[in-house]
Structures are given as structure tokens and as C-alpha cells.
Amino acid sequence: MKCTRCKKQAEVELKSHNAAFCRECFNYFFLNQVQKAIKTFKMFSKKDRVLVAVSGGKDSLALWDALLSLGYNADGLFIYLGIEGFSNVALTKVRKFASERGAKLIEVNLTNEGLAIPKVKEKTRRVVCSLCGQIKRYYFNMVGLKNNYDVLATGHNLDDEVSRLFSNVLHWKMDYLKEQSPALPSEDGLLKKVKPLFRLTEFETSAYAFFKKIDYVDISCPFSKGATFTIYKKHLNSIEYHSPGTKIDFYQGFLKKLKPILEESKKEKKNLCKICGYPTYSDVCSICRLKGLS
């Protein structure tokens, strides 16, 4: 099998693109897809200060590496979750990555905030993955605003976005569908958020991380077992295997055909939390309420 671009021996086959690439050309393809996503949705420019939410996993570190390789002003933000046997490993990987590239890393320790995930799990009956995501989004936003960043970038890939879209359509969660996008503009109390990897699959980010020798966390969070999104990804991967290109067609079809219609509908206006100023539909945001339980 020959590389589609240079005709050398190929190492990666991408059936959804009807292409195969050698290592060098695949890395070029990957960076080109990231750049195309940034340009198409006007995510940010070389002048902007970009804060990359990094977990220690392959996707967020691949994104940070790609943005640095493309010449963007990108710093990292790591949220220490306080999960035994997982968080320390992730922190070590992220610190090593930043040190090797001379990149700036900001750290937030949820244990010091009274919101370590194991403790939060004990306080409430809510699904821990949902709570964890909510807490991380809160600190991504607040840290970004406090440090005067222009935009927050997350490592959500095509598989993540398609699984989320599938779930939202399956259950007709219209409010979530309205807010699903590769780029969400800044609002009062909210930093602009972007997903530059939305055109790339989990397999493709794995290949990029492998080729670039990125040392990432290869163990799963102990609280993620049985997560619904994992089940959705499994079935969507089966569909993609039998019909390559289905994932990107599904997601791009949503962006082109349904998203414009949803954006025409009015959004319910949010208040600002009277304690911390974070946007909420009530007087006090859910994170401040969680802190009150400690």
C-alpha cells in the first residue's frame, strides 16, 4: 500500500478519506485537519492566547502538540481530580509533556477546592461522570477568564462529538443540541470554547500521538466504567466499519442542516451566580452549591 501523498510505503490507512499515508504525510494530514477546523470556524488566530484543557490523555496532549507545532500561543490547564491511582499518573504525564516543550502549564487541585471527585461522589447521587465534567468546565472557564485568555480549546475528537450528537438526538435533548458546536462564542461570564480536533477520529489522534512519541495516560478513569457514551461509541464504530465516512457525514450534516435552524430559536437567558459570577439558571450555580455541602 502506497502513501496517497508521496507514494512511499504507507503506515496508516484512512478508509473514510479513501487514503493512506506514510508517517510524515499523516502528520501533515493531521495538522492540516486541525488548521482547517480552526480556519473554517474562525476559532482563533496566532495573536490570541489559547488555553488548552489537558487531561493527560492522547487527545488533549495531541491537540496541545498540534497547536504548538502550528505556531499558536497555547498554554495548558490541568485539573487534578483527586482520584487515587489515576490523577497522579495523569499529572506526571502532563508535566513531562510541558517540560519537554518549554510550554506553560497551569494546575488546579480540586482537593484544595473541596471538590475532589471521590468526595463529590459521596455527597450526591448524581452520575459521577456528569458531575466531573460539570466541575471541569467550571474551572476551565473561570481559570481562563481570570488569566485573560482569549479562548479555551478542548481535545474532543470526532468520535466524542458524534457520540454526543447521537445521544442528544436519541433523547431529543434540544437545549443540548442548540449548544453543540465546534465553536461556542464568548458570552457574559463565559469564555469562548473551541474543539479543533472535531474533524479527526480517535484512531487518528492515537496515530498522531504514536508517531510524535507523545507519552500519555493509557489507563481509563476508574469511574468511567459502564458510561453510556462508551456504549454509543462501540455501536457507532460498528456502523463506521461497514460504511466508512458515516461519522463525519452525520456530524457535518448536523452542522449544515439542523444547527442553523436551532440557532434561530431563542435561548433562555441565564443569571450570574451571586457567589462566583458563573452563568446559571438559578441564583447560585451548581458548583457553589456542591462546595456548600463540604
225, with CB counted inside 10 A (0-12, 13-18, 19+), is exposed
**H helical segments located in the chain:** 23-40, 58-69, 87-101, 117-123, 128-146, 158-170, 174-179, 202-211, 228-242, 246-253, 259-264, 286-292
Structural domains of the chain, with CATH: 37-292 (3.40.50.620)
Q: What is the pLDDT of residues 115-151, one digit of tens each?
A: 999 999 888 877 888 889 999 999 999 999 999 999 9
- Region 191-199: mean pLDDT is 98
Q: What is the pLDDT of residue 268?
A: 65
Q: What is the pTM of this model?
A: 0.92
Q: What is the pLDDT of residue 291?
A: 87
Decide if pLDDT at 246 tops 90.
Answer: yes
Owner of C-alpha cell 479543533: 196
Decide if pLDDT at 266 tops 70.
Answer: no
Q: What is the pLDDT of residues 20-62, one digit of tens each?
A: 999 999 999 999 999 999 999 999 999 999 999 999 999 999 9
